[in-house]
Amino acid sequence: MPGIELFGPEEKKEVQDVLDTSIFFRYNHDAQRNNHWKARDFESEVKKLTGAKYAHAVSSGSTAVACALAAAGIGAGDEVIVPPFTYIASVEAVLFCGGLPVFAEIDESLCLSPEGIRKAITPKTKAIMLVHMCGQMARMDEIMNIVREHNLTLIEDAGQAFAASYKGTYTGLFGKTGCYSFDFFKIATAAEGGVMVTNDEQCYKNADSYSDHGHDHIGNNRGMENHPIIGFNYRISELHAAVGAAQTRKVPQIREINRKYKKRMMEQLGQVPGVSFAHIPDPAGDSATFLNLLLPDTATAKKTVDLFNQNGIGGFNYWFINMYHFINQWDHLKNLKTAAPLPIHLLGAPQDYNNLQLPKSQEVVGRLISFGIRCSWKEEELEQLIGKIKASLEKALGVHAHA
């Protein structure tokens, strides 16, 4: 959890600015706020880091995904290709906008594969919800070729990949719209928050109105603003945005440390025969928030997890059994258990979610163990952790590391 590891006087100062004025609302109240506009500052920092033309801060990464879909025009009855390995919000957002999720295969990049996308395309496919997982990025050249070839709308959920890039372009900026999460567990946190990004002016205007009951935010009298579209309340507070702005300024420093530590871990753990790592399409653009180990098979991965637990090694995720990141545990979604009917109940699901055939995804996630990288590790802590991980891997695999 790199962001909160560096929480300090910078964040406290930004929050105190808001407390001193008591203006927690991101719009209007110009005279009382003493020129403090924290949501605007937050958006400015995200644009500065990523190069996005437009950024719009909202209440969470999940609502940022919802805004990204709506702003790009994705809605009722649209088939949207989604991954089976993601934080479930990516799929929930498709369902709640009225879309119909179509699950496709991932590969060793941990993201939707070009091959998986091609196989999932139907005449009804409207969009791809591409999720950049575990700090990395997808195989963008091949995926963008598919997007252009089939005239599809690309929406990017880079909730776990803020500050990652592919060949100089930041995740979130390849598609029509993209988004980042700034929850408690991300490289930068706003406590709770998210940001939608786009290079399309109309998409930005759509998101700006959609996230605030349709307001156009023109003029200084909120009660007299026009409403070009229907919207809902996904606003971020000035308190959350204040934290997000301060945290985003620290991301280049965090990323630099992450990359140094991840490189060291890969160099040493890669000496263990049978251990490999998730494919990073552009290693130079890795945000390095996770070290993603791949074991030879699921059985060995499970054995390794048991040894990690026995040896007191923490800070890792075995996603294969995780309740909210992998489709195997999503019984409520597979059976479409909802509080009230959604469009998918009326239109019908495009796949039998209880009988999906995704062998590559099952194989990859079954082999995957991810360690969160902490920028606050001391040198001796990191070396001790590497030693413990290496010993457990050697025992699980029945090998000795190369000298």
User: Annotated catalytic sites, by residue?
Assistant: 186
315 token code pair: 């800070």
Provide the total of helices (H) and of strands (E) in the chain, helices listed first. Answer: 15, 13
Q: What is the CA radius of gyration of the chain?
A: 22
3-state secondary structure of 204: helix
b/e string for 60-96 if b means 16 or more Cβ within 10 A? Answer: bbbbbbbbbbbbbebeeebbbbbbbbbbbbbbebbbb
Collapsing DSSP to helix, strand or coil, 202 comes out as: helix
Residue-wise DSSP of 51-116: --SEEEEES-HHHHHHHHHHHTT--TT-EEEE-SBS-THHHHHHHHTT-EEEE--B-TTSSB-HHH
Question: How do 368-372 and 79-82 pair as beta strands?
Answer: unpaired
Phi, psi of 293, rounded to the nearest 5 degrees: -85, 140
